[in-house]
Amino acid sequence: MDIKKIDSEFIANTYNRFPLQVCKGNGSLLYDEAGKEYIDMGSGIAVNTFGLCDEKWQAAVTHQLSAFQHTSNLYYSEPCAVLAEMICKKTEMSKVFFGNSGAEANECAIKTARKYAAETKGSEYYTIVTLKNSFHGRTLATLAATGQDVFHKDFLPLTKGFVYASANDCEDLRRVIKENKCAAIMFECVQGEGGVLPLERSFVDEIRRLAAENGLLVICDEVQTGNGRSGKLYSYMHYGIKPDIFTTAKGLGGGLPIGAAVLGKKVENVLTPGTHGSTFGGNPICCAGAISILERLDENLLSEVKKKSEYIINELKNADGIENITGLGLMLGIKTKKPAAEVIKKCMEGGVLCLSAKDKVRLLPALNIPQNLLEKAVDTIKKAIK
Ligand SMILES: *Cc1c(COP(=O)(O)O)cnc(C)c1O
């Protein structure tokens, strides 16, 4: 069977795939159709938090699978309640809405912010400030939230009510807030798709100050940065802020589709019966998988993430062919002298799978990648960038 041929004929043409068919995996190793082994430095775009076929995760998922796979949100079920409690206790937030993706988590945050503003300030205060070069998803509202024209092209008109400020430009942020009737400001602490760019501390301080001064909700998009990826449970924790809402998805389910909008005290009861919902949201299998991920994201694991991050940075920062490395924890962007695409291709030939973000090589390995595999991968990357 020629899978590549069938795929190109029948799958919508939205992805430029690499010439590699994934056939099986184990931890941070995966194997193609010819049995060639690769070290996975992308983990399905920050999704497979503990790698492929992680045993504890597999056991949690199959245990739930043998009980029941789905019920509607008309009834109670254990996994989503337990997961919501776990998220809230770890973050001192109040309530969780479950959806199935990052975009849906952000949609929920946007709806919550609009409803809160309508109820407290008036329905004309619907505008949400986001940052230029951000990425918040592919639905029409989250596309509008995304501050990059390339994604908007050919899909106009987008949902209205989004304005963009330049990242790390306090003056521009003040201007945008002043010129609009705003409900909230939404941002990634580390812009992922935008090139793995952490916001400056002083800019995040200014966001907090301006939000308080103008009665705006603070929404952190933790879809890529969340669940231990940055070296803290959620990346806003690096900045000493507490958002009113944060969103999470990608790594939360360890490989199953789940997203969540996590609500602080101020907005915990903004959504009421009938105002929002999702058929699959809070799916018990996805939640069982997520519990098994989240319960292991303790201080030990997070300090491992930081150590591995330092290892990669120390090895690569002075290597031949490097311009710079940005990012936090195991979310790193490498600006290379050679074009990123060329480096990624070379790495793949050498048995290492890397991602890109804008003009950078992006690394998002599993948080538990073994040190020996990490060393092998870094070696291959060094050779590829030379
Ligand atoms: C991936 C991503 C999204 C979109 O998530 P989907 O699950 O693809 O809908 C939103 N925000 C950020 C920061 C992301 O990295």
Residue from 263, 104, 277 nearest 184 by CA: 263
Q: Is the pLDDT of residue 183 over 90?
A: yes
Q: Which pLDDT score is estimated for 368? A: 98
For the Cβ of 344 lying below 6 angstroms from any atom of ligand 1, the answer is no
Per DSSP, helices labelled H in the chain are 3-10, 43-46, 55-65, 78-91, 102-120, 140-145, 149-152, 170-179, 201-214, 284-294, 299-316, 340-349, 371-385
Ligand 1 centroid to 101 CA: how many Å?
7
pLDDT of 1: 83
- Work out which ligand 1 atom sits closest to the CA atom of 142: 10
Atom of ligand 1 lying closest to residue 103 CA: 9
Q: 133 CB under 6 A from ligand 1? A: no
Residue ID of nearest Cα to ligand 1 atom 6: 102
Q: Output phi, psi for 128, to 5 deg.
A: -115, 125
User: Each residue of 84-139: pLDDT tens digit?
Assistant: 999 999 999 999 999 999 999 999 999 999 999 999 999 999 999 999 999 999 99
Q: How far apart are CA 204 and CA 199, in angstroms?
A: 7
What the block records as the tokens of 309 is 């991050």
Instruction: State in Å: Cα 280 to ligand 1 middle.
Output: 18
What's the one-letter identity of residue 375? E
In the reported structure, the alpha carbon of residue 138 is separated from the centroid of ligand 1 by a whole-number distance in angstroms of 8
Q: Is 228 in the pocket of ligand 1 (CB under 6 A)?
A: no
Q: What is the pLDDT of residues 272-303, one digit of tens each?
A: 999 999 999 999 999 999 999 999 999 999 99
Atom of ligand 1 nearest to the CA of 188: 13
Q: How far is the CA of 108 from the centre of ligand 1 (A)?
A: 13
Question: How many Å lie between the centroid of ligand 1 and the Cα of residue 381?
Answer: 26
For the whole model, what pTM was predicted? 0.98
Give the span between the Cα atoms of 101 and 280, in whole angstroms.
Answer: 11
Ligand 1 atom at minimal distance to the Cα of residue 221: 13
CA of 34 to the centre of ligand 1 (A): 32
Compute, in angstroms, the gap from residue 43 CA to the centroid of ligand 1.
15
Residue 251 DSSP symbol: G
| Centroid of ligand 1 to alpha carbon of 154 (angstroms) | 20
Probe target for ligand 1 pocket from 223, 246, 364, with the most ligand atoms within 8 Å of CB = 223
Closest residue (by CA) to atom 11 of ligand 1? 136
Pick left, alpha or beta for residue 228 (phi over 0 → left; psi -120 to 50 → alpha; otherwise beta): left
When pLDDT is averaged across residues 336-365 and rounded to a whole number, the result is 98
**How far is Cα 28 from Cα 26, in angstroms, rounded to an integer?**
6
Block residue for tokens 């002043």? 178
Burial class of residue 149 (count of CB atoms within 10 Å of its CB; 0-12, 13-18, 19+)? exposed
H helix runs in 137-263, sequence order? 140-145, 149-152, 170-179, 201-214
Does residue 136 line the site of ligand 1, with CB under 6 A? Answer: yes
Q: What is the pLDDT of residues 33-85, one digit of tens each?
A: 999 999 999 999 999 999 999 999 999 999 999 999 999 999 999 999 999 99
Domains for the chain: give ranges and CATH numbers.
Answer: 3-54+299-385 (3.90.1150.10), 57-294 (3.40.640.10)
How remote is the CA of residue 209 from the centroid of ligand 1, in Å?
27
Nearest CA to ligand 1 atom 15: 224
User: What is the percentage of the chain residues whose pLDDT exceeds 90?
Assistant: 100
Q: Is the CB of 135 under 6 A from ligand 1?
A: yes
